[in-house]
Every structure is written in C-alpha cells, then in structure tokens.
Chain A
Amino acid sequence: MNRIKGFCCNYTLSVEPDALKSEGLIPENVEIERLPCTGRLEVSELLDSFTQGVSAVFVVGCQLDKCHNLSGSRRASKRVSQAKKILEELEMDPGLVEMFFADRGETEPVVQAARLMSERTAG
C-alpha cells in the first residue's frame, strides 16, 4: 500500500496522530508527524520523504492570517510550492505534495487532507 506522509503543527493537530488512526479517521497508510511549527520544514525534508519511499506528502498549517507563529504556515506553503516545482522538474506529479490550512484545534481538515492524499495515490 502507498505510504503517505503528513506534517502538521501542534496547533492544527492537538490530538495524537495515532488516536486518529485507531478511531479509523485516517487511513492506515498515513503517517503524521507533528512539529512545533510547519515553518521549520525545509524543502529537503519534503523531498527526502519521497526518496525514503513515501508516495505523497502533505503539510497542514494554521490559516495564513491566524498562524500561531505569525508567518510559519506562509513559509511552509512557499516551501511546498518550491517542492512542487522540483517534482515537476523531475517529471513527477506536483500534486503529490500539497499544503492545507486548518483552524486551530480542528482535526477535520487534517483528516480530509489525509484522505484526499491517500485517494490521490490510490490505484
């Protein structure tokens, strides 16, 4: 089964990722890593996930105008755009890396993102 990697900040996902999985909310093939802020994610980490065998990567950060660290999710979204360009250069589908935004403490957008990316790589 395709592996999907998600990165969320502590503010967009305040529950343990495993709890979402045990409740059946996110697919088994999705692995979520929580970070203090998505703004610390580097393009290299997004790309390395693919090299390590992941099929798609997503990042969920705060709404752009409500980021806990002011510009963290904006920075993350720019890095996701950079990663998309690199995937294009490598003749890969740029849709395999995606940025999503969520209100603080709302798990639903994270669940939706995980399901969307899982569907995108299915089949």
Chain B
Amino acid sequence: MIIAERKTLKELIGMVDGFNNILILGCRGCVAVCSAGGDKEVSTLASALKLGLSRQGRTIDIDERTLVRQCDPEYIDPLNDDASDYDAVLSMACGVGVNFIADRCPEVNVLPALDTTFYGANLSSGEWKEMCAGCGACVLHLTGGLCPVARCAKSLSNGPCGGSQEGRCEIHPDVACIWQQIYDKLSGLNRSDDMKNIMPMRDWTTAGHGGPRRRIREDLLP
C-alpha cells in the first residue's frame, strides 16, 4: 500500500494561514490502513489545528469528511458541488488524491496534509517498510522475490556494491544488504547460480524517467 505521514502541525498551520473555513478531507484507502489519513486522523488533525490556532488567537471553521477513496472520480467529483465554498480543502490522501482533486475540481483549492513516502508493507503495528518502487519492469523472478530497485540503496541490478559488511548495507547498520538477502534466499532455493545471469542494462523509462506514466486497458474503457 501507499505509506504516508502527516506534515508537521507547524507546516499545516502555516498552510491554512489567512483562511476562514477549510474542509479536512480523509481517505479510507491506503492512508486509513497506515493510520495517516482515515476518519480518526481527520478528527485528530481538526482538533490539533483548532488548538494550535486558538493559541495564536485565531479561529477558523473546520469541517471534516472522509471519502472511500480520493483516486476515483466517483468519490471526488461531488466536491465540485460544495467544496469550492471552502477557502481550502486539506486532503489527507496520498499525493495521488491531492493531484486528482486539483485536476478534476477547478474551483477547489486543495492542499496536502500528508507527505507521501513509499509503497510499503506493514511489518507490525506501527511499522512499515519500503518494498517496491513501482519501476514498471519487475525483476523479482530473478531475485528470489526481493526487490533490488527499492531495497538496495543504489538500486543495483547485479549483486552487491562491495561495501556491505556482515549482511548490512554500508549506508547504515540498521539496513540489511538486500543483495546478501537475495543470495541467501536463492541459495535456500538451490538457485544461487541464477546470480550468474547478468541482468541487461535497465531501461528506466518504465520507472517514470520517460515522463509521467499512463496505463490504458482497452477492454475496460467506457
């Protein structure tokens, strides 16, 4: 899922400076699952902003709403009917949601309440880790299912850089060397010889280096 975290209250209070009424808009998708922008976080942020502003002698009207998702038109298009009445909509969705509202709701002043960070898995309650970078040309069949793009600090394709020590990445002892893990995983599967197959130079256009990406499925088009 997409992982995100709330911006600091200082930043958000600055963002709503000069506004009289805002709508804090949550999303029940990824950001609700990672406890960054669901119903509960909307209500906490509303209270935190009210308190922060009241300490500066300011009050603004804050409404709260949470949509099923902010990345599908059927949920955000209704904002065109009532959200332009707000000085701003402070979206607690990932950056996709904020962009999509900006694209589709011309009169809505949308602002991001979160920093969108990565695609990750939930290791345990309250802990998430990056697992995929959405490169658009998956190589996990060659690497024992472990991603060298997202999980190697240098996104190397053909083995470790030589800086790892005792299975730890040279950037930080807390970070595992994913190439050590790929080797261990493949060895456990009796596939360590797979590492001798050199991956060709990658074409990073699929990873977004060729401009914004788009996908069309003819069979699903209206």
Residues of chain A touching chain B, judged by Cβ–Cβ distance below 8 Å, are: 42-45, 47-48, 50-51, 82, 86, 89-90, 92
Q: Report whether A92 and B55 are in contact in the complex, using a CB–CB cutoff of 8 Å.
A: yes
Q: How far is A48 from B54 in the complex, measured between Cα atoms in Å?
A: 11
User: Do A90 and B9 contact each other (CB < 8 Å), given the known contacts A42-B40, A47-B44?
Assistant: yes
- What is the CA–CA distance of A82 and B9 in the complex, to the nearest angstrom? 13
Q: How far is the CA of A49 from the CA of B51 in the complex (A)?
A: 9
CA A71 – CA B182 in complex, angstroms?
40
Specify the main secondary structure of chain B where it touches its partner: helix
B44 with A43: CB separation less than 8 A: yes
B56: nearest chain-A partner, CB-CB: A90
The distance from the CB of A81 to the nearest CB of chain B, in whole angstroms, is 12
**Cβ 8 A contact of A89, one of B10, B43, B54:** B10
Chain B: how many interface residues by the 8 Å CB criterion? 14
Supply 13 further A-B pairs (C-beta < 8 A) apart from A48-B47, A50-B51. Answer: A43-B47, A44-B43, A47-B47, A51-B50, A51-B51, A86-B44, A86-B48, A86-B51, A89-B9, A90-B9, A90-B48, A90-B52, A90-B55
Task: Report B-chain residues with C-beta under 8 Å of the C-beta of A90.
Answer: 9, 48, 51-52, 55
The answer, yes or no, to whether B8 is at the interface (CB within 8 Å) is yes
Q: Give the interface SS of chain A, mostly helix, strand, loop or mixed.
A: helix
Return chain A residues, CB-CB under 8 Å to B9. 86, 89-90
Residues of B within 8 A of A (CB): 8-10, 40, 43-44, 46-48, 50-52, 54-55
**A89 partner residues in chain B, CB cutoff 8 A:** 8-10, 48, 52
Q: Give the chain B neighbours of A82 by CB distance below 8 A.
A: 44
Pick the contact of A51: B10, B43, B47 (CB < 8 A).
B47
User: A82–B40 Cα gap in the complex (Å)?
Assistant: 12
